[in-house]
Amino acid sequence: MSKKKNSELSSKLADVVVMGMQEKKANDIVKMDMREVNSTLSDYFVICNADSHIQVNAIAKSVEEEVYKAFGQDVWHKEGEGNGEWILLDFVDVVVHIFKTEAREKYRIEDLWGDAKSEHFKSA
């Protein structure tokens, strides 16, 4: 598969992730294009936060379901599901970070990659 074709696929995957987040009313959704950033392995980071552990878990489940419906793809690696503070879903080309609001404010991971192009979304 060509790099351009793969890049288009990862962009569509990131958009489906955003849709899954919006389904569960995620807060402050940011899609970061990591393709031009040195020392990153994935094409996109998609980040959001939620007000409760329950909502963090619901957003993660929604993202997994939407990606599976659109691409038939399961998450490659998942972390943090038990604590509900910060769930990471790794779809290889797209890495998803779902934070409880306080944890997002604490870790501020967007600041680590401030040179990435960012697009902000609201939940419908």
Cα separation of the two ends of the chain = 34
Phi, psi of 120 (to 5 degrees): -105, 145
For domain 3-121, the question of CATH label 3.10.20.70 is answered with no
pLDDT in tens, 99-116: 999 999 999 999 988 889
pLDDT per residue as tens digits for the range 90-99: 999 999 999 9
Give residue-wise pLDDT tens across range 6-58.
778 999 999 999 999 999 999 999 999 999 887 678 999 999 999 999 999 99
Closest CA to 34 of 91, 100, 114, 99: 114
pLDDT band at 2 (very low <50, low <70, confident <90, very high): very low
- Where in the chain are the domains? 3-121
